Amino acid sequence: MAMGVGRGAGRGGRRGAGPGGECICPSCGYRMPHQAGVPCMQITCPKCGVRMVRA
């Protein structure tokens, strides 16, 4: 079986959202700039402690 040239969408069939954007708290609405290489889900809101989501 031949293998392709590795230009797929990545693990799980999805691509990353890129370096820009914001992390937003779904509970209180606090916003902060997204840090490249750090998923928003790994950051907790400094105001209320809920995990952030990517916007």
Question: Is pLDDT larger for residue 7 or for residue 55?
Answer: 55
Q: What tokens appear for 17 in the block?
A: 């959202």
Question: Is pLDDT larger for residue 9 or for residue 34?
Answer: 34
Q: What is the pLDDT of residues 12-21, one digit of tens each?
A: 555 556 667 9
pLDDT score of 35 more than 80: yes
Question: Which residues contact residue 46 at a Cβ distance below 8 angstroms, ignoring those fewer than 6 apart?
Answer: 30
Rounded CA separation 25/5 (Å):
39
Identify any residues that bridge with 6 across adjacent strands, giving them in sequence order: none
